[in-house]
C-alpha cells in the first residue's frame, strides 16, 4: 500500500474516515505525517465527525484526536462558521491528552499551554469538567504555570471533596498548597508580573482587599498532612481553622 501515489493514499484515507490508517505502520505514518497539511487534517476530522444535517458537533471527540492541533481547530472553526453561521462554538471539556505534555519537553508543554489558554479564553471551556482532573493533574506534576492558568479561569480546588487539595498535601509543598487556597498568594516559582485577580487594586493603592480562601479547611486535610508527615502543612492548616484533637497534637509534635 505504501507504493501507491500519495494522492491516492489521501483519497483512501478520507473515504475510510479511519484515524488508525496513518499509524498502521511506520512507513504509512511517515508518509501521512510528511504530506498532509493542517487543512487536510481538518477536512478529515470534519468529514468523520460532522454530518451535513447535524446541528450538534461532537467537539469533545474531535479534540481527543492528536491530529486536532490548535491550528487545525482554527480551520475547523471556519468550517463551523460556514456550517452554522452565527452559532458560537462552545467546547465544554479540556482534552485530557493535553495534560500528558506536563511530563514531556518544554516545547510540547508550551504548545499544550497555549492550546488550553485558547480553549479557556475563546471557547468557553470549563476548567472543572472531568471531576477537576485538569487542576489535579497539574498539581500532581507541580506545574505552576498550568495551575495559575486554570485558577485564573475559575478552577475550583474544592470540587470532588477537595481532591485537588488532598493531592497538594501529598506533594508536601506548602507554597503550592497556599497557591491553591489563597487567591492573593504568589508562589516562589510564579511569574509575579502575570499574577492578577479581578479584585486586585492598582499597585499605587494603599488599600488591601482580603480575599476569601478558595476552600473551606477541614479536619480531614489536617489528618492527611499528619499521615503524610508534613508538619509545616499541618501547622498551616491549624492556623487556617482545622481543629486538632489531643491525639493529632501529639502526632504533630512527634513528627
Q: Same structural domain for residues 203 and 239? A: no
Q: Same structural domain for residues 182 and 231? A: no
The residues facing 126 across adjacent strands are 93
Q: Same structural domain for residues 148 and 169? A: yes
Residues in the chain: 255
Q: Among the listed ranges 3-17, 60-74, 123-137, which one has the minimum average pLDDT value? A: 3-17
Distances (CA, A) of 74 to 17, 78, 118, 141: 20, 7, 10, 29
222 against 11, higher pLDDT: 222
Compute the distance between CA of residue 162 and CA of residue 36 in angstroms, rounded to an integer.
44
φ, ψ dihedrals at 184, nearest 5°: -95, 0
Structure confidence by residue, pLDDT tens digits, 153-194: 999 999 999 999 999 999 999 999 999 999 999 999 887 555
Compute the distance between CA of residue 64 and CA of residue 5 in angstroms, rounded to an integer.
29
pLDDT at 200 > cutoff 50: no
Compute the distance between CA of residue 41 and CA of residue 84 in angstroms, rounded to an integer.
20
Nearest CA-CA partner of 63 in 22, 19, 102, 9: 19
Structure confidence at residue 154 (pLDDT): 96
Distances (CA, A) of 169 to 109, 163, 226, 228: 24, 10, 10, 8
In a domain, 101, yes or no: yes
Compute the distance between CA of residue 165 and CA of residue 217 in angstroms, rounded to an integer.
10
Beta carbons of 87 and 124 less than 8 angstroms apart? no
Structure confidence at residue 87 (pLDDT): 85
In a domain, 188, yes or no: yes
Q: Same structural domain for residues 155 and 246? A: no
Total of domains in the chain: 2
In a domain, 72, yes or no: no
Q: Same structural domain for residues 188 and 116? A: yes
Q: What contacts 95, CB < 8 A, 6 or more positions away?
A: 60, 63, 64
In a domain, 232, yes or no: yes
Q: Same structural domain for residues 238 and 138? A: no
In a domain, 169, yes or no: yes
Q: Same structural domain for residues 100 and 190? A: yes
Compute the distance between CA of residue 90 and CA of residue 45 in angstroms, rounded to an integer.
17
Helix (H) or strand (E) holding 174: helix 174-181
Please give the average per-residue pLDDT across 226-246, as a whole number. 93
Q: Same structural domain for residues 119 and 204? A: yes
Q: Is the sign of the CA dihedral 225, 226, 232, 236 positive or negative?
A: positive
Give the residue carrying C-alpha cell 452559532: 87
State the virtual CA torsion across 146, 156, 206, 193 in degrees, nearest 10: 10
Task: Please give the residue range of the domain that contains residue 173.
Answer: 94-214
pLDDT at 82 > cutoff 80: yes
Beta carbons of 129 and 99 less than 8 angstroms apart? no
Structure confidence by residue, pLDDT tens digits, 140-156: 999 999 999 999 999 99
Amino acid at each position: 500500500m505504501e507504493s501507491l501515489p500519495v494522492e491516492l493514499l489521501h483519497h483512501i484515507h478520507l473515504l475510510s474516515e479511519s484515524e488508525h490508517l496513518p499509524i498502521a505502520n511506520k512507513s504509512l505514518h511517515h508518509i501521512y505525517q510528511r504530506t498532509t497539511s493542517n487543512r487536510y487534517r481538518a477536512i478529515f476530522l470534519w468529514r468523520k465527525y460532522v454530518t451535513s444535517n447535524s446541528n450538534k458537533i461532537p467537539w469533545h471527540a474531535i479534540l481527543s484526536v492528536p491530529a486536532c492541533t490548535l491550528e487545525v481547530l482554527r480551520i475547523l472553526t471556519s468550517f463551523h462558521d460556514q456550517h452554522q453561521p452565527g452559532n458560537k462554538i462552545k467546547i465544554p471539556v479540556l482534552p485530557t491528552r493535553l495534560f500528558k505534555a506536563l511530563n514531556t519537553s518544554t516545547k510540547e508543554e508550551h504548545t499544550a499551554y497555549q492550546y488550553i489558554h485558547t480553549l479557556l479564553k475563546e471557547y468557553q471551556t470549563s476548567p472543572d469538567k472531568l471531576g477537576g482532573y485538569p487542576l489535579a493533574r497539574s498539581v500532581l506534576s507541580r506545574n505552576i504555570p498550568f495551575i495559575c492558568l486554570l485558577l485564573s479561569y475559575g478552577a475550583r480546588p474544592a470540587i470532588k471533596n477537595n481532591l485537588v487539595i488532598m493531592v497538594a498535601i501529598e506533594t508536601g509543598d506548602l507554597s503550592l498548597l497556599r497557591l491553591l487556597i489563597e487567591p492573593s498568594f504568589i508562589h516562589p516559582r510564579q511569574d509575579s508580573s502575570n499574577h492578577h485577580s479581578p479584585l486586585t487594586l492598582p499597585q499605587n493603592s494603599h488599600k488591601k482587599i482580603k480575599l476569601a480562601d478558595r476552600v473551606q479547611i477541614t479536619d480531614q486535610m489536617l489528618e492527611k498532612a499528619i499521615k503524610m508527615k508534613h508538619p509545616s502543612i499541618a501547622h498551616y492548616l491549624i492556623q487556617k481553622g482545622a481543629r486538632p484533637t489531643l491525639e493529632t497534637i501529639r502526632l504533630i509534635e512527634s513528627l
